[in-house]
Structure 1
């Protein structure tokens, strides 16, 4: 085919335009690739479990003379120790061998271990009759050492709603609110305030759920005289596992949100200038599956360290050993996957604005 004289310039112009478009597309692709290669606070992170041979859900981790000690959800509060946060983590004798009479069995959920003066306290939630299926109350136990056997303090629960088949608790949730469910309480968490004052945070079971706080005595084993619990945060869905940290002039509240048995379970944080006034503080994401590849990161606990970055320990679902469960995982549809909640940890960094960020994850030794 022959081209006329007028068609040649037009063809050349079309060819030049095509080349320019292709070069522009390649340049844009290169710029985009370069942008994704630059360091970013949103780049994907990868975590590896520190303890996955057995489940270790809702970890409470603290430092003691021999390194680190942790307790988890399970019969008698399973316990593990390590000389370093990266492990190796070794299972020890469970923290509690006997629970008080008001407890239906020894299945403890999300306990919290703290040291108060020269003794150790274990706040725990145990099943109780009279409040409906699955309802629990909170008790406290004490030991002379972090690795010793914890024994319940007194016969009364520390926190327990009215109507439970148990002795009258120190905190009965008198001011719970008309529209809050009359079920149990779980997820106890100790907090040391200004001047050494002590508090206990916990979650109310049912929907809507709430996080409450009550003032304790200086020894931490009783509710302070004339003290009554009050609501800090309320949510239509599930909000649980409260951990409170003071950072300069702010209080930062870490919580877990969502259904615990799936990968969308996540860890969030809120911030307030005042301990007892949180209003409608909006939650911000700290740990989520889409960024770190861990299925359902929750049950977080923060460990502060002198002259070192704080650490955040949490659990995540693993299947077929140490592998993260797939994004579609659901505990009620997990036959053959052998799921369990394994122990993870990450470095926690505070920005100039005083907000928490995950800097990197700890890898097992």
Structure 2
């Protein structure tokens, strides 16, 4: 018969093993499943990056960087995804018409479907501002407003006061509606240090409420692609940390009971190269509610015709590099408030 002490030590080690295994499961998705994640959407030409995904009934619309806002449609996160015409009908009058739309995202309001997008502004040395556009259908075409919503120049409704560099632009717009119906727009200020700000919106999502934006977090390196989720009395701020052109680009999150208080909250890694096998898993968007399970969509770099992840420790320099879209399960842990990704979805 084992002594009581031996039993306690064995029990303690068993619990420790379970805890370690659980932690590893949260970080090592690819290793746990025994399979490397595969993309659910690969653009026919160019790349698919910064997916902003909305669900309308049974349909999913993914808005992506490129052209006048690339769009793809599917009735299942696994696909098959069908490429659609660009979301924007034309450039907003404030835009220079150069480059491409960055990180578009959409939401339905009393005005219809509202698209937020970042584009180069006229007379702003190649820097970007954030504009709005409206459509009757989620896939567009969206008719752009004549003036930007967030812009340090051109009379934007949010001048991005107190940001770290008054000569830099704003990108990565992401709409959020709180449980009381109040609307906000999150976005990133460019250059270093990178910051995430949030701007109170009118109920139709097209204008501000006469208030300036406020900084939520800043990062000594770079932080971008913000997404806000409300769950069980807590706010979750998801974002992409580090530089987008490196394999160490990763998806991180912070939790707060206060909508405006994230700077002093711990940052946790949700998805990175070590845990997924993917190169730079970031640019993520979260889809919750609507009667379906929670999902997270993100991009990562691939460097082969077979869409194999790039194998770099620093900047991805392969001339064949391009970004593709992945979909995964988003769960919330045993406590209901700890985001986890237990599995990636296989493509249809």
Measured in 1, the distance between the counterparts of 2:243 and 2:29 equals 23
1:118 Cα deviation from its structure 2 partner: 6.3
Task: Tell me which residue corresponds to 2:116.
Answer: 123
| Aligned match for 1:253, one of 237, 253, 265 | 237
**Residues 73-126 of structure 1: per-residue CA shift (max 9 Å, x gap):** 001001100111110001011101311222112510001111114610100000
Find out whether 1:351 has 2:333 as its counterpart.
yes
Matched, 1:77 2:69: yes
Structure 1 runs of 4+ off > 2 angstroms? 37-40, 129-132, 179-182, 305-309, 327-331
Give CA-to-partner distance per residue, 1:304-327, whole Å, 9 cap, x none: 134543000000101112111113
CA contact (8 A) 2:218 2:263 kept: no
Normalising by structure 2, we get a TM-score of 0.87
Matched, 1:47 2:37: yes
Whole-angstrom CA distance in 2 between matches of 1:215 and 1:257: 24
Distance of 1:258 and 1:69 partners within structure 2: 27
Is the contact made by 2:60 and 2:76 (CA closer than 8 Å) also made in structure 1? yes
CA contact (8 A) 1:181 1:208 kept: no
Of 277, 287, 291 in structure 1, the residue corresponding to residue 275 of structure 2 is: 291
Structure 1 residues 250 and 241: CA distance shift in structure 2, 3 A = same
How many residue pairs match? The answer is 321
Q: Is the Cα contact below 8 Å between 1:175 and 1:229 reproduced in 2?
A: no
Q: How does 1:258-273 map to 2 (within 5 A)?
A: 258-273=242-257
CA RMSD of aligned residues (A): 2.2
Name the residue aligned to 1:313. 297
1:159 corresponding residue in structure 2:
150
In structure 2, distance between residues paired with 1:149 and 1:315:
24
- Extract unaligned runs of 5+ from structure 1: 1-30
Equivalent residues in 2 for 1:80-159 (5 A)? 80-105=72-97, 107-117=100-110, 119-132=112-125, 134-153=126-145, 155-159=146-150
Structure 1 residues 44 and 245, CA, compared in 2 at 3 Å: closer, same or farther?
closer
Of the candidates 185, 204, 214, which is equivalent to residue 219 of structure 1? Answer: 204
C-alpha distance 214-320 of structure 1, shift in aligned 2 (>3 A): same
TM-score scaled by structure 1? 0.83
Query: Does 1:172 find its partner at 2:169?
Result: no
What is the distance in 2 between the residues matched to 1:316 and 1:168? 35
Structure 1: distance between partners of 2:279 and 2:104: 22
- Larger Rg, first or second structure (1 or 2): 1
Partner SS state of residue 197, structure 2? strand
**Which structure 2 segments of 5+ residues have no match?**
1-13, 31-35
Structure 1 residue 243 and structure 2 residue 235: aligned? no
For 2:11, the equivalent position in structure 1 comes to none
Q: 1: CA distance between counterparts of 2:127 and 2:21? A: 50
Distance 1:296 1:43, change over 3 A: closer
Report the Cα offset of residue 131 of structure 1.
3.8
- Say if 2:195 is the partner of 1:210: yes
